[in-house]
Amino acid sequence: MTEQANPFLNADLLSLPRPALKALFQAAGEPGFRSEQLFRWLHVRLERDWARMTDLPAGLRTKLQAARTLAVLTPTLERVSALDASQKIVLNTDDGHAIETVIMPMESGHVTQCLSSQVGCKMGCDFCATARLPVRQNLSAGQIVEQVAYACRVGFALGLRRGGVAGGEEGPLSARPHNLVFMGMGEPLDNLQALIDALDILCDPKGFDFSPRRITVSTSGVAKNVAKLAAAHPNVNLAWSLTATTDDVRDRLMPVNRGVPIRKMVDVLLELPQNAHRKITFEYALLKGVNDTEDDARRLASMARELNAHVNAIPFNAWPGADYQRPERVVIQRFVDVARRAGASITLRESKGQDIGAACGQLAGEKPV
């Protein structure tokens, strides 16, 4: 069958939000309701086998099989933390590159999933293991969404459900994570269109139906795309990976700061339309002797007050070859206490999965041995 005769040829169906999928079907001369059926198969029933999509006509399924493979990620390794039961899953892309996603049971009884948006990362943050990876490329929206689909299947297999009860007529989707955080491998705002398309699919009420308020997108400071994300998904929460309170230190730690210094990023966040549903968070990795002084704590509190942001103070998670260390416990606690006395809303957050290389800054595309 020729490309002209089959508009589905090489189409990335998993990456298409529902309106785009409908437009593709219309271009193919197919009824619009067929695209709704396929969207439900892909993003509610999480089906990846054409033969099981029994309410789609056989002729249409034959055409759809000319699209890109639906199995966009292959699990190659799973590790479970002995400390907190967090699960790190290594998934291979169809061209053989490894990405990681982390499923984290929380004290609330809910599950949070940490998602990757790229293979590697070109931001070059000096304290992050992902930045050391030699391969750097964007994930498609389908590859981002598939990480969530995989977590749903894992949870369903374990008998988990949103309310803690196994079962549910929607199958694996009934075991979806409660919260999603784009804090895995890569810089989400450096892969903006795929991020927006993935959020469209994840928040679609006829798909995964996530509340935007339970999704957080982290950025190191790609200021030019902050407003674009907020326009597309105004209720999604934003986290700024800050990690320094002066440009001199942040320039050394995070090269993005040379183009977008701290004050510029603060101003960009201040210029966002007011939205009572959007939370802004500062992610602050505490590095011994680098950014852990009382003056740092006071400057951090001042910025947090200005933006009405919450601060997550995260003691550094070591990884092989890292040039940094975690501060002593007394220094960490003093930093948090000083920031709090200076008016910051601040939480000391120990990352999950430290013993399996799944904590903040540790993701490095682990390969099976």
**Domain 73-356 falls under CATH 3.20.20.70:** yes
Given a cut of 60, is residue 202 above it in pLDDT? yes
Which is catalytic among the residues 30, 100, 146, 283?
Answer: 100
pLDDT digits (tens, 9 = 90+) for 98-129: 999 999 988 888 899 999 999 999 999 999 98
H helix runs in the chain, sequence order: 18-27, 32-43, 58-64, 141-157, 192-203, 226-232, 247-253, 262-270, 294-307, 329-341
pLDDT digits (tens, 9 = 90+) for 144-158: 999 999 999 988 877
User: Could you tell me what percent of the chain has a pLDDT over 70?
Assistant: 95
Contact residues for 180 (Cβ-Cβ < 8 A; gap 6+) = 112, 113, 115, 148, 202, 210, 214, 215, 216
- What DSSP character marks residue 164? S
Predicted model pTM: 0.93
Quick check: is 306 catalytic? Answer: no
Residue 369 pLDDT: 57
Task: Specify the residue for token string 């493979």.
Answer: 69
Quick check: is 125 catalytic? Answer: no
Which is catalytic among the residues 114, 121, 125, 360?
Answer: 360
**Domain 13-64 falls under CATH 1.10.150.530:** yes
pLDDT (average), residues 309-315: 97
Extents of the domains making up the chain: 13-64, 73-356
